[in-house]
A and B are shown apart, each in its own frame.
Chain A
Amino acid sequence: MKEYTILALGSAAAVTLLDHLLGTKMTHRRSFWITQAIMFLFEIPTNGYLTWRPIVLYNPEMFLNIRLGTIPVEDFFYGYGLITLTLIFWEFFASKRNRTGAGSFS
């Protein structure tokens, strides 16, 4: 297996585990998966452009070289992890501020 492939899959698994450990339960939310679907759709033209131009050039020794258009498949797992990590901490910091309780007072 190639390095980027391992890291992309491993990071996607690691953030999902972190979601459970922190108790943010993002992966249990419908809104989370809709967000992932929307981000996935927008990743195709944007990352498609970055990889087609190419603005970022990938080393074939480091990934499988299976591409969706010009986008390496690993990028979608990378993107999932990046989005998920951000949303985990968005919810984590918000819940520490009692965001869920705030609605009942306002």
Chain B
Amino acid sequence: MRSEYLLVLAIVVLFPLILSFVLDLRLFRRLRSLAGSVLVSTVVYGLWDVIVTSRGHWRFNPEYTLGPALLGLPVEEWLFFVVIGFVSVFTYEAVIKRLPPRS
């Protein structure tokens, strides 16, 4: 199924997205910090990905990707950085919120 990579990303982001509202983490109230930090890692790791994909470090299975690509990477791969960036920030803020303060 060609939507499989996209589906994996959707599953990965679903519960953190819901939980960020359940836990009242207010990540989207800090949209500029959120977007900024996700953008930095997407640009840095995306650039790395573009270079090493062209050098043959890895390739993406056309059976499980939709087809559209940007700079040689499937759109799903770009979305991967956005998803992992968001999930990282979510996890970190959830940990801070749930962690008892150190005495």
Contact = CB atoms under 8 A, between A and B. Distances in A.
A4 interface: yes
B33 A90 contact: yes
B28 to A, nearest CB: 13
B40, B57, B87, B89 pick with most chain A CB within 10 angstroms = B57
B64 A87 contact: no
A49 B12 CA distance: 12
Contact of B95 (A35, A58, A92): A35
B52 A93 contact: no
Interface residues on B, range: 35 or more
Interface of B: 4-5, 8, 12, 30, 32-34, 36-38, 40-41, 44-45, 48, 52, 55-61, 64-65, 81, 84-85, 87-89, 91-92, 95-96, 99, 102
Interface residues of A, number: 40
A89 B56 contact: no
A34 B92 CA distance: 8
A21 interface: no
A83 B88 contact: yes
B4 A55 contact: yes
B55 A3 contact: yes
A21 B48 CA distance: 22
A23 interface: no
